[in-house]
């Protein structure tokens, strides 16, 4: 496994991030534990989760699965850089949510971190992430709450997820003005070959402020994982967002061109999509969310995969991206 610094910090993390969103809803606890063991054995030390994972009435289940894995011992917790998130509503009465049980108020930050620590069976979180922006809560309040948690030793670093570029700048400027906090050190954003809008402002802002970029959905919901070939061979058909995208003739032709290019170079689509992200400026490592041990093995091969200049140029031709701002929308 290869490692890199997380943004401007001294924290060393693996170039692949183990995403755990499928643990519980798609993968049973015993299999989830086996995947985490295999990931750790392969050198993946950066695990990502969120308090809402498990979803619906099972919100928090994924953190509990991870906590039970830590409880097995064997230095599991000490070897893992643990990242979780808060923002979503954690009560069970979703139809009529009770106030102050979601978003980023100082009250909910305090409540959410203590609940996550209990589920995760640990006394600290390495990277505590804001899952979304909170338009109603000023960053002065957010950073005051975070300062207390850092002083208490409950969290070490803070990251963002799904933040636009201007919010990354605003958050870190206010943190710098207040002093006493390092500010955001990472940003999780939707970024892959098919969806490159983050290159306009989010990734440049992250680079300027020293945040490590952690792309989520690196295969764009399976769209970049050889979906057309799997359909032809009678395998798992596209669903959800991927199926909707493939219903558009232009997008389907784009994905077909992508698969044809990789077939010509003898490279597996899913591995190529991950390897491409590892070549991108500012990227710490993509989040991979394996449901099975076989999917984890495929992701691990991507770390060692070297994409030729010819192949990289071909990928840029199929998926050109928007380019940086302001040139993407102005002169």
Read off the pLDDT of residues 84-103 as tens digits, 9 standing for 90 and up: 999 999 987 777 788 999 99
In eight-state DSSP terms, residue 306 is P
Tokens representing 60 are 């928090």
Residue 259, pLDDT above cutoff 80: yes
Mean pLDDT value across residues 69-79: 98
Mean of the per-residue pLDDT values for the chain? 95
Residue 14 contacts residue 45 (beta carbons within 8 Å): yes
Query: Which one from 3, 53, 87, 258 is the annotated catalytic residue?
Result: 53
Q: Which of 104-108, 225-229, 235-239 has the lowest mean pLDDT?
A: 235-239
**Cβ neighbours of 52 (radius 10 Å):** 23
**pLDDT band with cut points at 50, 70 and 90 for residue 168:** very high
Residue 263, pLDDT above cutoff 90: yes
Domains by residue range for the chain, with CATH: 3-222+270-311 (3.20.20.100)
**pLDDT band with cut points at 50, 70 and 90 for residue 223:** very high
**pLDDT band with cut points at 50, 70 and 90 for residue 328:** very high
Residue 17 three-state SS = strand
What confidence score (pLDDT) does residue 235 get? 65
How many Cα atoms occupy the beta-carbon half-sphere of 85 within 13 Å? 26
Rounded percentage of the chain residues whose pLDDT exceeds 90:
90
What confidence score (pLDDT) does residue 244 get? 83
Rounded percentage of the chain residues whose pLDDT exceeds 70:
98
Hey, which residues does 129 pair with through a beta bridge?
A: 85, 159
Helix spans in the chain (H): 29-41, 61-70, 76-79, 106-120, 139-152, 165-178, 202-208, 227-232, 240-246, 249-265, 269-278, 293-304, 309-318
Cβ neighbourhood burial of 57 (10 Å; 0-12, 13-18, 19+) = exposed
Residue 239, pLDDT above cutoff 70: no
d(CA 23, CA 32): 6
157 included as an active-site residue = no
């Amino acid at each position: 496994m290869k490692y890199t610094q997380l943004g401007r910090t001294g924290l060393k993390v693996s170039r692949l991030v183990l995403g755990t969103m499928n643990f519980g809803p798609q993968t049973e606890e015993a299999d989830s534990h086996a995947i985490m063991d295999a990931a750790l054995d392969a050198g993946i030390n950066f695990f990502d989760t969120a308090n809402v994972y498990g979803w619906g009435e099972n919100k928090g289940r994924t953190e509990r699965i991870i906590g039970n894995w830590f409880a097995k011992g064997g230095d599991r917790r000490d070897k893992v850089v643990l990242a979780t998130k808060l923002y979503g509503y954690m009560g069970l009465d979703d139809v009529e949510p009770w106030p102050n049980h979601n978003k980023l108020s100082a009250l909910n930050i305090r409540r959410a971190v203590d609940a996550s620590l209990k589920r995760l069976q640990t006394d600290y979180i390495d990277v505590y992430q804001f899952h979304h922006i909170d338009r109603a809560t000023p960053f002065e309040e957010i950073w005051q709450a975070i300062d207390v948690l850092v002083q208490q030793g409950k969290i070490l670093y803070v990251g963002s997820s799904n933040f636009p570029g201007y919010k990354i700048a605003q958050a870190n400027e206010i943190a710098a003005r207040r002093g006493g906090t390092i500010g955001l050190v990472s940003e999780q954003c939707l970024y892959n070959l098919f969806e490159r809008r983050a290159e306009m402002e989010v990734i440049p802002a992250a680079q300027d402020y020293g945040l490590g970029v952690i792309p989520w959905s690196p295969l764009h919901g399976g769209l970049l994982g050889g979906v057309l070939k799997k359909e032809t061979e009678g395998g798992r058909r596209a669903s959800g967002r991927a199926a909707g995208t493939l219903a558009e003739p232009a997008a389907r032709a784009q994905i077909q061109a992508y698969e044809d290019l990789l077939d010509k170079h003898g490279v597996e689509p899913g591995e190529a999509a991950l390897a491409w992200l590892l070549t991108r400026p500012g990227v710490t490592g993509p989040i991979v969310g394996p449901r099975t041990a076989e999917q984890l093995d495929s992701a691990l091969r991507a770390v060692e995969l070297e994409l030729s200049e010819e192949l990289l140029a071909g990928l840029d031709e199929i998926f050109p991206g928007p380019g940086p701002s302001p040139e993407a929308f102005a002169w």
